[in-house]
Amino acid sequence: MTKETTTTTTKTVCVFCGSSFGTKKSYSDSATKLGQLLAERGYGLVYGGGTTGLMGLIAKSVFSNGGSVHGVIPDALVSKERADPDKIEAINKELLNNVDNHVGATPIDETKYGKTTIVPDMHSRKKMMALEANSGFVAMPGGFGTLEEIMEITTWSQLGIHKRPIVLFNVDGFYDCFIEFLNKAIENGFISKTNGNIVSIATTPEEVIEKLESYVVPQGRFNLTWQNELKD
């Protein structure tokens, strides 16, 4: 465990996802498979630092397959999103359908989940993850936090703060209604057609990798100068 920021030198992807497992086994299976593929393709992972839910699954998968993992978590959330390793199996088996299945103790097991940086607040967490994600961002199923994180990073792209790939991993149609909303916003003139291409859609772990590696920065984004934000 460290409280210092280190410089990222490898390809690194930031994955936003739930600290719960959700109600479908496909969510867990997809997180595990995506973690495996990221590691096999030489990507490191930066994520929200939890050991529970989809967060814990993808971190453990990347790390166990030889990839680097950096979890970034606010001090206030350590007791909420870090579960005792001895409880993880019980959580997986018995609390799969419970949205409160991320209640746990506070140990941080770096032998299973990689390096952890504890930060003072949510803003520090998101900025550190964004700075390290030199190869893109992926949103898996999640709740309020996941949606807020992927939309902020999408807005940053629209504003010209960065030009990195952004992929919405639509596992089992989880994001269908949200994609419909985005199309409605384009249709009604609130998002331009070109900026609608800032977010790529993938339905399988393999397609997530393909979308990351074939991403083309859309035309029509704002060409603004940002002094204290991400540098691309």
Per domain, the residue ranges of the chain are: 12-214
Measured CA to CA, the distance from residue 34 to residue 54 in angstroms comes to: 11
Residue 221 has a pLDDT of 78
pLDDT at 4: 40
Give the global pTM.
0.84
Looking at residue 93, its pLDDT comes to 47
pLDDT at 158: 92
The yes or no reply on domain 12-214 and CATH 3.60.110.10 is: no
Bridge partners of 202? 169
* Alpha helix segments (H runs only) across the chain: 25-40, 53-64, 78-81, 85-94, 110-113, 122-132, 144-158, 176-187, 205-214
- Which is nearest to 43 in space by CA: 142, 150, 165, 133? 133
The whole-number pLDDT of residue 222 equals 76
Mean per-residue pLDDT pooled into runs of 10, the chain (232 residues): 47 96 96 98 95 93 96 79 54 48 49 86 92 97 96 94 96 98 97 95 98 91 70 64
pLDDT of residue 182: 97
pLDDT value at residue 84: 54
